[in-house]
Amino acid sequence: MATQNKFQDFTEQLEKGVHVFGTHTFKVALTNTAPVATQTTWNTTDHPAPAAANGYPAGGTATTTAISESGGTSTVTGTQVVFTATAGGIGPFRYAVLYNDSATSPADAAVSWVDYGSSITLADTETFTIRFNNASPGTIHTLT
């Protein structure tokens, strides 16, 4: 199972109110270029994504987030994201990056990423499913 890695700036931006999990749009984007933990934003200039074609939408695919609280611990979850290659392939990609598509300052604020260990290319009709913490909905983060 691939491990989710947090961008270092995420916690500061969370405290500053940049990330509003109840109303903002969070997307998963694919790239074959390694993310850097010190990044504050996500962009396809520094980390090219697969072409917006063949079932891969520009900017990636949104996950639906939810927030719950129990005993003073809040948990943010996200639904699985499925990429399906149509009329050709998607890739190559090795990393899946979660970012806040609604954030404006900084724009497209980076949240976390997963490294799948080697490059992946989907052939026509193949699917690739991303689950946070290997569940759907799965835990994006907790705050105690």
**How many angstroms separate the Cα of 46 from the Cα of each of 32, 65, 108, 144?**
11, 26, 13, 34
Inform me whether the pLDDT recorded for 44 exceeds 90. Answer: no
Virtual torsion, Cα 122, 124, 126, 128, nearest 10 deg: 40
Q: Is the confidence at residue 1, as pLDDT, over 70? A: no
Average pLDDT, the chain: 93
Which pTM value belongs to this model? 0.94
Cα–Cα distance measured from residue 135 to residue 34, given in angstroms and rounded to the nearest whole number: 24
Strands (E), 42-106: 61-63, 65-70, 73-78, 81-84, 90-104
Token reading at 104 = 């404006």
Read off the pLDDT of each residue in 48-59 and give the average, rounded to a whole number.
Answer: 89
**Integer Cα distance of 53 and 32 in angstroms:** 16
